A = this chain, B = another copy of it.
Amino acid sequence: MRWAVILAGGSGSRFWPLSTPLAPKQLLPLAGPQSTAEATIDRLTGLVDRDRILLVTGRHLAGPLQDRLGLPPDNVLVEPAPKSTGPALAWATHEARRRDPDAAVLSLHADWHIPDPAGFRRDASRALDLAERGPWLVTVGVVPSRPDAGFGYLVPGPEVDGGFRVAEFKEKPSAELASRLIAAGAVWNSGLFAWRAETLLTQVAAVCPEMASALPHLDRGRVTDFFDGCREVSIDVGVLERSAAVAMVRGAFAWDDVGTWEALSRVRPNDAAGNVLVGDVTALDSANVVAWTDHTPVVLAGVRDLVVVSANGRILVLDRARAAALKSVLDRLPPRIREI
């Protein structure tokens, strides 16, 4: 049967001061009235049964996520420790296999904005088809809409089984290199993966020493021991970039990871001056501003290229060009201000 594993961790810093540890971006109505976590569940309708959706998250978020998403309690998997995506996906995939030895797993994130759910289902289904046909770890490469230096890129190789081999992974290239990669047919590594559970666990054992020796703990149901025995490692670096079993399909759906305040200008309507205004914001003679207020009225006059946020008792006024570097701003704040 087909299963989905949704990664829903997150420290809640990218949309500070709106996002908080207990309300990280996947629980916020950033791209529209629905949070991306809710939209992620809805998007799977018709592709994966609701009771075969597993959610992996940290202890502090398990309650808020379950309240919001209404999944069966047994389907919310609480990581004993954050060790990046490798251990989380190995565990959740192992859990799917425990419940269903023939499990094919679609792995995705709770914080994506995908305005075309039907296109998503079509391409995700093709990825699952390919994963079910052969012993492939299938990545869905999203056709880039811009030379974004913040993503990883997949360079396609020869065709196999209705998909392609991955010739190369390029993590966060320069914008210039990204443009060249795109011209050569490279796609974004979206983090949307598909594999048979058996295939992933075999590959982890074969290529990922950061996790391999800890895998037997999962067979004995000792999740904490498994995490203790793993080193922090992403699924990309730990498995996909090392395995010979990686294939890809092209995803034609629009995809955005809504990773910064700046991203709101891509996923929300802009006014004629390029402003994105959410909440009680009045903009006069202002351009290219992303502004969000939870309730305090905000007036902008004669300003441009800013991010302005009032939320949770904090006000942020940020150069828009620094939106991607917000974390380094937060690192310089005293805890009294930083912590909400």
By a beta-carbon cutoff of 8 Å, the part of chain A in contact with chain B is 17, 280, 282, 284, 293, 296-303, 306, 308, 310, 313-319, 321-322, 326, 329, 332-334, 336-337
Contact = CB atoms under 8 A, between A and B. Distances in A.
Given A284-B329, A317-B317, A337 B299 contact: yes
Q: How often does this chain occur in the complex, in copies? A: 2
B296 A318 contact: no
B317 A306 contact: yes
A190 to B, nearest CB: 29
B296 A315 contact: yes
Contacts of A319: 301-303
14 contacts: A282-B333, A296-B296, A296-B310, A296-B315, A297-B313, A297-B314, A298-B317, A299-B314, A299-B317, A301-B316, A301-B329, A302-B318, A308-B317, A317-B317
Contacts of A299: 17, 314-318, 329, 333, 337
A317 B300 contact: yes
A309 B171 CA distance: 41
Nearest to A281: B315
A310 B317 CA distance: 12
A285 B266 CA distance: 27
Nearest to A338: B299
A315 B292 CA distance: 12
Given A310-B315, A315-B315, A337 B302 contact: no
Nearest to A316: B299
Contact of A315 (B297, B302, B332): B297
Contacts of A310: 296, 310, 315
A299 B331 CA distance: 12
Nearest to A300: B317
The 6 A-B residue pairs whose C-beta atoms are closest, nearest first, are A302-B319, A298-B315, A301-B329, A302-B322, A301-B318, A297-B337
